[in-house]
Amino acid sequence: MIRYIASRLAIAVGLLLGLMTLSFGLVSLLPGDPAVALLGEYATPADIARIHGELGLDKPLWERYVEYIGRTISGDLGHSFFTGSSVSQELWTRLPNTLVYLVPGLILALLLGLAMGTFAAYRSGRLPDKTFTAGVSVLMAMPEFVLALLLLFVFYQQLHIAPAPLGMLSSSDIPPPKVTGSVVLDAVIAGKWKVFGSIFSRAVLPIVTMGLFFAAPFGKTVRTGLLQILHSPQIEFARACGLRPFQVYRYALSDVRAALMTYMVLLFAAALSGAAIVESVFSWPGIGGWSLDGVLKGDMPVIQGFVFVMGATSLLGYVVLDTLITLLDPRARAVAIRGRSSRSSLDTPSLDTPIPHQ
């Protein structure tokens, strides 16, 4: 068991190193000179050379690479070329802002998707299933920002029940005392539940946007997986033993569990890296809008930091998930712990609903 988890950790470390290399390579090898971006097109060669020196861009590539790895491991992701603020600090204050709507949004997507997918699978081929399939096609064809704007139009513009899309706090909210720098965390630490409630009420539309947007592909995955298993000999035998419908459903779910968990992590990664769109629409001070800004300006450390942290989060999520799935499945567990192969095959059904692009 411990050896198994250790081997997983080793793999994670290896992958992280690869990710650092990638995020360094991606940005350093791309065309475009940050000094030019910083100074404008009419900069003199002397100025450019000075900026190169300040940014360390005059050093050879491998030296910059080693420095980058060293700094990243120590938690320093550099400073923005333009604002000079620390990238790790920015990430640390902005990430909670993003998670505060993203995690509930995904949970909403999970619940909606599970309910709709289950309903569709149990009514397969009949009207509810066809309605679901049509609805999913519409939702999946709709870009996230259209969905967000639609929700705003209905609930803010027409019904006046949603607050204006002007960020996390209204002008009347008193920001909590600064402890961590993240408004959300500080509000929780200071026990300012009114501020937290205000944030949450502003987060409702982003949450619903995420929930609806990701419920569609998730529901489709649930439907595909359940349809497969509901026609399987395992479920036939469970029914033949007279198990109650809910027991049968639990048997079926335990079979698609691994595939659904995997899909959830993929969705999380997709949602995190696509946060820019929702955050632009709702003027949300999360990581999405900030990273988009960085990309548009060519702010190298910001892009690098964003790529690295998002990649690392998804990677770690994946490794943890993989370990969890293995330990939850007695067949895989036997193989992993004792290193012996078992009789039956371990293939989980592959459910190939594509991850939506944003």
Partner 1 sequence: MSLKVNDLVTEFATRRGVVEALHGISFEVGENEVVGIVGESGSGKSTVVRSVIRLLVPPGRVASGTVEFAGRPLLELRESELRAIRGKDIGFIAQNPFSALNPVLRLEKQFANIAKAHGVKADDGARRRAVDLLAATGVSDPERVIRGYAHELSGGMAQRVVIAMALYLNPRLVIADEPTTALDLTVQRQVLDTLRRLTVESGRSMLIVTHDLGVVNAYCQRVLVMYKGSIVEQGRVAEVFTAPQHPYTASLLSSASPPIEPAEAEVVPSQPLEVATWPSSK
The residues that touch partner 1, with contacts defined as CB under 8 A, are: 124-125, 230-234, 236-245, 247, 251, 254-255, 328-331, 334, 342-344
Q: Which is nearer to partner 1, 63 or 236 (CB)?
A: 236
Q: Which is nearer to partner 1, 340 or 357 (CB)?
A: 340
Min separation Cβ 240 and partner 1, Å: 3
Min separation Cβ 173 and partner 1, Å: 48
Rounded distance between C-alpha atoms, residue 358 and residue 273, angstroms: 9
Min separation Cβ 355 and partner 1, Å: 26
Q: Which is nearer to partner 1, 99 or 259 (CB)?
A: 259
Min separation Cβ 256 and partner 1, Å: 11
Q: Which is nearer to partner 1, 194 or 231 (CB)?
A: 231
**Distances in Å between the alpha carbon of 300 and those of 34, 84, 116, 194, 307?**
7, 12, 43, 38, 11
Rounded distance between C-alpha atoms, residue 81 and residue 17, angstroms: 24
Tokens of 52: 């190169």
Min separation Cβ 224 and partner 1, Å: 16
Burial class for 339, CB neighbours closer than 10 Å (0-12, 13-18, 19+): exposed
Question: Nearest Cα to 176, choosing from 194, 200, 163?
Answer: 194
Q: Which is nearer to partner 1, 190 or 325 (CB)?
A: 325
Residue 94 φ/ψ, nearest 5 degrees: -90, -30
